[in-house]
Amino acid sequence: MRFSLLALGAATLVSALSIEERAPEAQPELEARVNIPVVTCQGYGKYEGIYDYTGGPYYPGCAMVTQSCIALNGTSIWSHSQCVAAAMCQGTYGVITLNQCQNPNVLPATQIPNLSGTIWANIVGSCVDDGCPMTQQNFIDFVYGAMSAANVTEWPGSVNDVIQDWWTPLMTWTATGNTIPYSNLDDWLHYSNS
Give whichever of 164 and 183 is closer to ligand NAG, judged by the CB atom: 183
Q: Distances in Å between the alpha carbon of 62 and those of 35, 117, 133?
A: 25, 23, 24
Q: For residues 29-52, b (16+ Cβ closer than 10 Å) or e, as one string?
A: bbeeeeeeeeeebbebbbbbbbbb
Q: Which of residues 6-65 bind ligand NAG (CB under 6 A)?
A: none
> x/- string (CB under 6 A) for ligand NAG, residues 79-108?
-----------------------xx-x---
Give whichever of 24 and 55 is closer to ligand NAG, judged by the CB atom: 24
Q: Which of 114, 135, 179, 192 binds ligand NAG (CB under 6 A)?
A: 114
The angle formed by the CA atoms of residues 180, 54 and 138, to the nearest 5 degrees, is 25
Give whichever of 85 and 171 is closer to ligand NAG, judged by the CB atom: 85
Give whichever of 88 and 150 is closer to ligand NAG, judged by the CB atom: 150
Give whichever of 105 and 118 is closer to ligand NAG, judged by the CB atom: 105
68 contributes a contact to ligand NAG by CB under 6 A: yes
**Are the C-beta atoms of 174 and 183 separated by less than 8 Å?**
no
What is the H or E stretch that residue 39 is in?
none
Question: Nearest distance from residue 35's CB to ligand NAG, in Å?
Answer: 26
Give whichever of 52 and 187 is closer to ligand NAG, judged by the CB atom: 187
Q: Which of 73, 118, 153, 164 binds ligand NAG (CB under 6 A)?
A: 73
Q: Which residues make Cβ contacts (< 8 Å) with residue 97, sequence separation at least 6?
A: 30, 41, 44
Residue 134 bridge partners (DSSP): 180
Q: What is the spatial distance between Cα 150 and Cα 140, in angstroms, rounded to a whole number?
A: 15
Q: What is the spatial distance between Cα 154 and Cα 2, in angstroms, rounded to a whole number?
A: 11
**Are the C-beta atoms of 94 and 193 separated by less than 8 Å?**
no
> x/- string (CB under 6 A) for ligand NAG, residues 130-169?
--------------------xx------------------
Interface residues with ligand NAG (CB under 6 A) are 68, 73, 102-103, 105, 114, 150-151, 183, 186
